[in-house]
């Protein structure tokens, strides 16, 4: 079992396997605070990250604001990769922020982004960041030019290798690409939340050779909340046919969306990690994809809940 079974894609000049890992769940604290819980033991978290690397996961998603009173995702990654820095591409994000107490503060100003980049560098123990995504405030409809321009300057200064975007629309991709190359776009996307299909963003990224990296691909509308019983009859049907979990079907459906679509499922459970990686080898038949692709009308029995698996990093 290897993450390589899902195939590869390039983030600029950095080739990664299409099954990656999202580190948010290692901290016991979610983006919106609704997945709070005790973090796993520090040594177990480090071992989990190394287990992922050993199985071919070479794309890790993180952020300096992924932390709880006891854990920092960046510092766990730093420890896990201390002697293996060349074994994984680490993708982080800037824009939002939290104070030491965990309270969120307003979107950083362009002139504050350097401080956020340097904080990621310090926590990760790096002299440059592989990929930095500008994460836009979802309620902000303004241009990303000033913020992305500030990151472009940091890229030119050597602090950042490649740039990406998160929580954006097609217009933001076009705007950012006029300033510097964009290697990836992270947006919420999955069977239950297909806004990136409706906007054309998934297809646009494919046409431009940009990686599209869904978050909440498994948990869907439940976001960081604890996963519940799978409520989509279609997902259960396909899962039974293959002898796999509903979470694996959801991940496989996402990967079937295009060769440029990556996955970053997060988990603190070694068994779930193995299942997520194995999902990269799951091939869905055309009729199964047609079944899953069909509109459901938003009913509770079809797409109204999350799988009995794991969520993904945001």
Residues annotated as catalytic are: 66
d(C-alpha 77, C-alpha 74), whole Å: 5
What residue ranges in the chain does DSSP mark as E strands?
8-11, 14-17, 21-22, 59-61, 89-94, 97-98, 104-105, 129-135, 160-166, 184-188, 211-215
Estimate the crossing angle of helix 286-293 against helix 246-256, to 10 degrees. Answer: 100
**Which tokens in the block code for residue 232?**
């989509």
d(C-alpha 309, C-alpha 47), whole Å: 21
Asked if 63 contacts 104 with a C-beta cutoff of 8 angstroms, the reply is: no
**Which tokens in the block code for residue 254?**
């996402």
Partners of 180 in the beta sheet?
none
């Amino acid at each position: 079992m290897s993450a390589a079974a899902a195939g590869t894609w390039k983030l600029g000049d950095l080739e990664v396997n299409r099954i990656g890992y999202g580190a948010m769940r290692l901290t016991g604290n979610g983006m919106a605070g609704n997945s709070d819980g005790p973090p796993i033991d520090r040594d177990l978290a480090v071992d989990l990250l190394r287990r992922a690397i050993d199985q071919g996961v070479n794309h890790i998603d993180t952020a300096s604001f992924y932390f709880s009173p006891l854990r920092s995702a960046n510092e766990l990654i730093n420890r896990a990769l201390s002697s293996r820095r060349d074994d994984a591409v680490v993708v982080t994000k800037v824009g939002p922020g939290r104070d030491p107490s965990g309270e969120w503060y307003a979107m950083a100003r362009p002139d504050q982004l350097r401080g956020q980049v340097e904080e990621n560098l310090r926590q990760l123990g790096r002299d440059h960041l592989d990929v930095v995504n500008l994460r836009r405030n979802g309620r902000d409809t303004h241009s990303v030019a000033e913020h992305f321009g500030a990151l472009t300057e940091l890229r030119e200064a050597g602090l950042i290798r490649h740039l990406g975007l998160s929580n954006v629309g097609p217009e933001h991709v076009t705007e950012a690409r006029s300033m510097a190359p964009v290697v990836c776009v992270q947006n919420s996307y999955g069977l239950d939340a297909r806004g990136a299909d409706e906007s054309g963003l998934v297809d646009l990224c494919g046409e431009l050779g940009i990686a599209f990296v869904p978050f909440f691909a498994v948990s869907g509308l439940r976001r960081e909340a604890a996963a519940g019983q799978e409520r989509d009859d279609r997902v259960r049907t396909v899962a039974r046919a293959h002898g796999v979990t509903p979470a694996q079907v959801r991940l496989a459906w996402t990967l079937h969306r295009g060769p440029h679509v990556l996955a970053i499922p997060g988990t603190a459970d070694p068994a779930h990690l193995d299942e997520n990686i194995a999902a990269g080898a799951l091939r869905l038949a055309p009729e199964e994809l047609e079944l899953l692709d069909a509109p459901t009308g938003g009913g509770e029995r079809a797409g109204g809940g999350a799988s009995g698996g794991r969520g993904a990093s945001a």
